[in-house]
Structure 1
Amino acid sequence: MRPTTLRTAGGVLALAALVTAAGCADRGAVSEDAADYPSKDITLVVPYQAGGASDLAARTLAEQLEQELGTSIIVENRTGGAGSVGLQHLASAPADGYTIGYLPVETVMLGFQGYEVDPADYDLIGQMVSVPATVAVPADSPYETLGDLVEAAEKEPGKITVSNSGAGSIWEATTAALGEATGTEFKPVPFDGGAPAVTAAIGGEVDAVIAGISETAPAHADGQLRVLAVFDEQPSESLPGVPTAAEEGVDVVMGGWGGIGAPAGLPDGVKQALEEAFEVAASSEEFTAIITDSGSIPVNVPADEFASFVQSETQRFEGLLSDRG
């Protein structure tokens, strides 16, 4: 199997033309003088439960955005449908800058899996995090290595249960990629977010969990989980002694990412204000330290580069998910 690799650098294709065109729609008529923005609280929609990697990144950034914008930012968790419920809510909100949201990698995946989610429905503000995938088992699991887990799946294909953050999520896709790379099959068990998926593994409800590193590393450190491998090109400093999947003979590199967006059609001045505030917030020492300590990778990708990256990711997942469909 060819490894599927996350890249945070954008390609040459740009989504900017799409979101600019969308900005010409009637909804873009919602406007206010940029000098007056913001004049009230801003809501930041997170399409997953509190406690997961997406929620941590969004809330950490929100604290820094508040300082830059001079207003309160209310984080609102709208869950369901592997993130589709929150993403659809964000897309349908007024394009006035008072509703923004966390855009995960599922933004480019769900449309190929029957959900009404389209990246063109958002004005992109910037990308701030990259999240390597991990696979972990309960602390008392008999599986000591990734090889042990794969061997068990080979003996009983489709019997080894692996929790994830939801049907259609990047972690479910990673589970499928693991099965394809090893020539076996795992049984995905979807939950409504990464946090409950990890909790299920801690409680022994499933044989394993595939989730973001910031969701599994704390439980690994506390002795509640045993992380078997990181699906990244390099080992993580947050998980000393834990190998990459490639080091265990499994050629899979996969992970999530997250950024900030808003309903397409933002007034130019409002979009510029958000982009400028994002750039400062995402590069702040506080944001960088918290995200790094969690095991995720802080990045600060501006709107135009994020648009190009989203375009390339859309094309990548169209091929991957179409092949599986």
Structure 2
Amino acid sequence: MFPISSRLGRRAVCVAAAALCAGSWSVAALASNAGAYPNQPIKLVVPFPPGGPTDTAARILGQHMGETLGKPVIVENRAGASGMLGTDVVAKSPADGYTLTMLASPTVLGDKLYGQKKYDLLKDFAHIGVAYDLPIVMVVNPKVLDVQDLPQLIAASKKQLLNYNSAGTGSFGHLSTELLKSQGKFEMLHISYKGSAPAITDLLGGQVPMMFSDMIAALPHIKSGKLRPIAVGSPQRVVFTPDVKTVAEQGFPGFDAVAWGGLMAPRGTPQPIVDQLGSALKKALEDKSVQEKLQQVGTTAAYAPGQAMYKRIAADLSKWGKVIADNNISSN
């Protein structure tokens, strides 16, 4: 018979061995679960109303990504404050890969426009990848303002103060026009609307003569001939209006104004999950049918990996933040 101390020692060894076995099983189970991602539907928060460019692109991409990942990607709209409300929800969500958001250009500058900093876009998110570009186009109502190109528009604005409208104070069209005004040394009076739809409606009705619009809102009316495109903000001409010169081609070298969108997850999302989501996004954007669907609504597939998305956010914060500061633009 073993001494009591020996019996206790053996018992301790057995307990330790059992715990080790249980621990090994637990680690294996966790690894198995991690490898099984995703094992439930993924929520994609769109921080804008249904039907807009961000929402439309998210639904097109989400459907294809869901097919690749084997679980549905469900779009949930959480609109408000240039996308800041929905984005804040995602920033505070569990970092498990089941809650994502589609970042769009207006949200990048939200804190500068509203004077609120609910989160840091560079520090509080895992950047999955750039998804699409949304070209902007300067359009005029030809019945109100009969100009053919940007130099003619600027000449007209110097003879008589013109109004221009936008989808809202601090919208990408607003900031792009202010940047152009400063570079071209001409004046126009800004009229702010609550969204692209009412802005386009009044442009078509002749209440205002021109605007820098996202391509999604303007394209149907360009095709119908009700609006005339005179310049695009991107560095190169775009497939939607191939005969329309860029702003850069019309006397403003280096002018670059392109809205865009990309996918993010909360900070701390495991890198293998971020990589898996990035791979699914890339595969979707390489699909010809997805590219065609995006083009049909005025956006273009523009995949770039997470690191490039991080740099693009940083560049936009610097560039457009200066435009906001120089022109004292605020949404408050």
TM bracket, shorter-chain basis:
0.7 to 0.9
Choose the corresponding residue for 1:235, options 234, 237, 242.
237
- Deviation of the 1:203 alpha carbon: 3.7
- Deviation of the 1:238 alpha carbon: 1.4
CA deviation digits over 1:5-30, x for unaligned, max 9?
xxxxxxxxxxxxxxxxxxxxxxxxxx
Q: What is the rounded CA distance, in whole Å, between the counterparts of 1:32 and 1:79 in structure 2?
A: 36
Q: What is the rounded CA distance, in whole Å, between the counterparts of 2:32 and 2:217 in structure 1?
A: 39
Choose the corresponding residue for 1:153, options 153, 157, 161.
157
- Deviation of the 1:301 alpha carbon: 0.9
RMSD over aligned CA atoms reads: 2.7
Q: Which residue type is aligned with residue 153 of structure 1?
A: S
Q: 1:67 to 1:229 in 2, by over 3 A?
A: same
For the 8 Å contact 2:112–2:324, the answer to whether it is kept is: yes
Residue 53 of structure 2 corresponds to residue 50 of structure 1: no
Higher relative contact order (CA 8 A, sep 6+): 1
Residue 148 of structure 2 corresponds to residue 167 of structure 1: no
**Which of the two has higher C-alpha Rg?**
2
- Deviation of the 1:192 alpha carbon: 4.1
Q: What is the rounded CA distance, in whole Å, between the counterparts of 2:201 and 2:266 in structure 1?
A: 33
Within-5 A mapping of 1:1-325 = 33-113=33-113, 114-116=115-117, 117-119=119-121, 120-138=123-141, 140-145=143-148, 146-157=150-161, 159-164=162-167, 166-251=168-253, 252-325=255-328
Structure 2 unaligned regions, length at least 5:
1-30
- Deviation of the 1:294 alpha carbon: 4.2
- Deviation of the 1:46 alpha carbon: 1.9
SS at match of 1:33: helix
Q: Which residue type is aligned with residue 43 of structure 2?
A: T
Q: 1:249 to 1:311 in 2, by over 3 A?
A: closer
Q: What is the rounded CA distance, in whole Å, between the counterparts of 1:148 and 1:88 in structure 2?
A: 43
Q: What is the rounded CA distance, in whole Å, between the counterparts of 1:32 and 1:304 in structure 2?
A: 28
Q: TM-score, normalised by structure 2?
A: 0.77
Q: What is the rounded CA distance, in whole Å, between the counterparts of 1:308 and 1:242 in structure 2?
A: 29
SS at match of 1:160: strand
Aligned to 2:9: none
Paired positions, count? 293
SS at match of 2:109: helix
Q: What is the rounded CA distance, in whole Å, between the counterparts of 2:90 and 2:146 in structure 1?
A: 41
Q: Which residue type is aligned with residue 288 of structure 2?
A: E
Q: Which residue type is aligned with residue 229 of structure 1?
A: A
Q: Which residue type is aligned with residue 62 of structure 1?
A: G
Q: Which residue type is aligned with residue 34 of structure 1?
A: A
- Deviation of the 1:111 alpha carbon: 2.8
Q: What is the rounded CA distance, in whole Å, between the counterparts of 1:310 and 1:49 in structure 2?
A: 22
Q: What is the rounded CA distance, in whole Å, between the counterparts of 1:212 and 1:278 in structure 2?
A: 23
